C-alpha cells in the first residue's frame, strides 16, 4: 500500500551524509578552536630594552613565565599589562617606553605559550598567568594596591577584569574590549553556533558590571576585529566611574592603539586620579 517512492532512499542517504559532514565540521571546530583564538609568537622576545628588567615568576600550576618589568621612579604608579591574543612582549615595548617616559612603571607579561614561555594558552591558563604576575608585583615587589593599575588589551580586557573581581586595582584600563568572545565570533562567523561551540568565554561585559574600580575604555572607531559598538556596550555596563576614549579612525592593530597619545594620556590621567 502506497510503498516508499523510489527516490526516497537516495534522498535519505544524502541527508544522512550531510548531517554527518556538518557534525564532523562541528567536532573539528570544537577541537581546533583555540588555534583560531590564540596566535602566539612562541619565540624568545630577545633581550629587554635598556632600563627594563627580565623577570620570572611561577604560576600556581607550576609554569615559570618570563616578563619584562620597567620600574617606576620612586613610589610611582605601576601598570600590569595583559596583552591581546597575538605577538609577545617585544611588540608592546613601545607602550612600556611611552609610559616610563611619563613616570609610570610597567610589567609586560606574556601568557603561557607566548614569548618563549612553556605551556599552551586557554582561558583558565591566562587567568593563572595574570594572577602569578599580580603576586609577583604585590608579594615580591611590594607594589601597593593604591599604586597598581591593570591594562587589558582586547582579550586581555577579560583577563584583567577577571583579576579585578578578586583583587581590585586602583584603576582599570580596557583597550578595545568586547562584550564576550561569542559576541566577537558572531560578528565574524554569523552562520556558526559560536556560543554553543566556544570552550573559552572571556565575559568582559558581565564582569565589568560587578567591578567598582575607576575604569577607562579606549577603542578605535574603525576597529575591524572588535566592533566599536561592543566596546561602547562595555562602557554602558560598567558599575564604577567610567570614561570612554574614542580614537577616531583607528583599527584594532593600529599604532594609535599601541602607544598613541590618546591612549598614553588616558592611562596617565587615570593613574594621576587614583
Task: Encode 180-206: b = buried (16+ Cβ within 10 Å), e = exposed.
Answer: bbbbbbbbeeeeeebeeebebebbbbe
Q: Quote the CA–CA distance of 268 and 217 in Å, as a whole number.
A: 13
* Structure confidence at residue 159 as a pLDDT band (50, 70, 90): very high
Q: Quote the CA–CA distance of 252 and 21 in Å, as a whole number.
A: 35
pTM, 2 dp: 0.88
pLDDT at 142 over 90: yes
pLDDT at 111 over 50: yes
- Other beta carbons within 10 angstroms of residue 5's beta carbon come to 8
Question: Contact at 8 Å (CB) between 102 and 92?
Answer: no
pLDDT of res. 21: 46
C-alpha cell at 264: 598614553
pLDDT digits (tens, 9 = 90+) for 60-78: 999 999 999 999 999 999 9
pLDDT at 41 over 60: yes
pLDDT at 177 over 50: yes
Q: Report in angstroms the alpha-carbon separations of 206 from 132, 180, 211.
A: 23, 8, 10
Sign of CA dihedral 114, 119, 122, 123: negative
* Structure confidence at residue 150 as a pLDDT band (50, 70, 90): very high
pLDDT at 238 over 70: yes
Identify the burial level of 101 via C-beta atoms within 10 angstroms of its C-beta, where 0-12 means exposed, 13-18 middle and 19 or more buried: exposed
pLDDT at 8 over 60: no
Q: Quote the CA–CA distance of 262 and 250 in Å, as a whole number.
A: 11
pLDDT (average), residues 225-242: 97
Question: Contact at 8 Å (CB) between 219 and 249?
Answer: no
Fold of 41-273: Rossmann fold (3.40.50)
pLDDT of res. 190: 80
pLDDT (average), residues 189-217: 88
Contacts of 151 (CB under 8 A, 6+ apart): 79, 80, 81, 82, 160, 173, 175, 267
Greater confidence (274 vs 97) lies with 97
pLDDT (average), residues 55-61: 98
Identify the burial level of 160 via C-beta atoms within 10 angstroms of its C-beta, where 0-12 means exposed, 13-18 middle and 19 or more buried: buried
Greater confidence (189 vs 123) lies with 123
Domain boundaries, given as residue ranges, for the chain: 7-37, 41-273
Mean pLDDT for all residues in the chain: 90
Of 233, 260, 229, 234, nearest to 247 by C-alpha is: 260
C-alpha cell at 206: 558581565
Question: Contact at 8 Å (CB) between 83 and 109?
Answer: yes
pLDDT of res. 76: 95
* Structure confidence at residue 28 as a pLDDT band (50, 70, 90): very low
pLDDT of res. 9: 61
Greater confidence (36 vs 16) lies with 36
pLDDT (average), residues 134-158: 97
pLDDT (average), residues 181-210: 85
* Structure confidence at residue 235 as a pLDDT band (50, 70, 90): very high
Measured at the CA of 45, the angle between CA 42 and CA 48, to 5 degrees, comes to 155
Strand, helix or coil for residue 164: helix
- Provide the percentage of residues in the chain whose pLDDT is more than 70: 86
Amino acid at each position: 500500500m502506497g510503498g516508499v517512492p523510489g527516490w526516497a532512499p537516495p534522498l535519505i542517504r544524502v541527508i544522512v551524509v550531510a548531517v554527518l559532514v556538518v557534525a564532523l565540521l562541528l567536532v573539528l571546530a570544537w577541537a581546533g578552536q583555540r588555534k583560531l583564538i590564540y596566535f602566539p609568537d612562541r619565540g624568545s622576545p630577545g633581550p629587554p630594552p635598556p632600563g627594563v628588567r627580565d623577570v620570572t615568576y611561577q604560576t600556581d600550576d607550576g609554569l615559570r613565565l618570563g616578563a619584562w618589568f620597567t620600574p617606576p621612579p620612586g613610589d610611582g604608579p605601576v601598570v600590569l599589562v595583559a596583552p591581546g591574543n597575538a605577538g609577545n612582549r617585544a611588540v608592546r615595548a613601545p607602550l612600556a617606553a611611552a609610559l616610563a617616559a611619563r613616570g609610570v612603571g610597567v610589567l609586560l607579561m606574556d601568557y603561557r605559550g607566548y614569548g618563549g614561555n612553556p605551556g599552551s594558552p586557554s582561558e583558565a591558563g591566562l587567568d593563572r598567568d595574570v594572577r602569578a604576575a599580580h603576586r609577583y608585583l604585590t608579594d615580591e615587589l611590594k607594589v601597593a594596591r593604591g599604586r597598581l593599575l591593570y591594562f587589558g588589551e582586547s582579550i586581555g580586557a577579560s583577563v584583567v577584569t577577571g583579576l579585578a573581581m578578586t583583587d581590585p586595582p586602583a584603576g582599570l584600563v580596557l583597550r578595545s574590549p568586547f562584550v564576550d568572545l561569542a559576541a566577537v565570533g558572531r560578528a565574524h562567523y554569523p552562520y556558526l553556533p559560536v556560543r554553543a561551540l566556544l570552550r573559552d568565554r572571556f565575559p568582559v561585559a558581565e564582569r565589568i558590571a560587578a567591578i567598582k574600580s575607576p575604569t577607562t575604555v579606549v577603542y578605535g572607531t574603525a576597529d575591524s576585529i572588535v566592533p566599536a559598538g561592543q566596546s561602547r556596550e562595555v562602557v554602558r555596563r560598567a558599575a564604577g566611574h567610567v570614561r570612554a576614549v574614542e580614537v577616531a579612525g583607528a583599527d584594532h592593530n593600529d599604532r594609535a592603539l599601541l602607544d598613541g597619545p590618546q591612549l598614553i594620556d588616558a592611562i596617565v590621567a587615570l593613574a594621576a586620579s587614583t
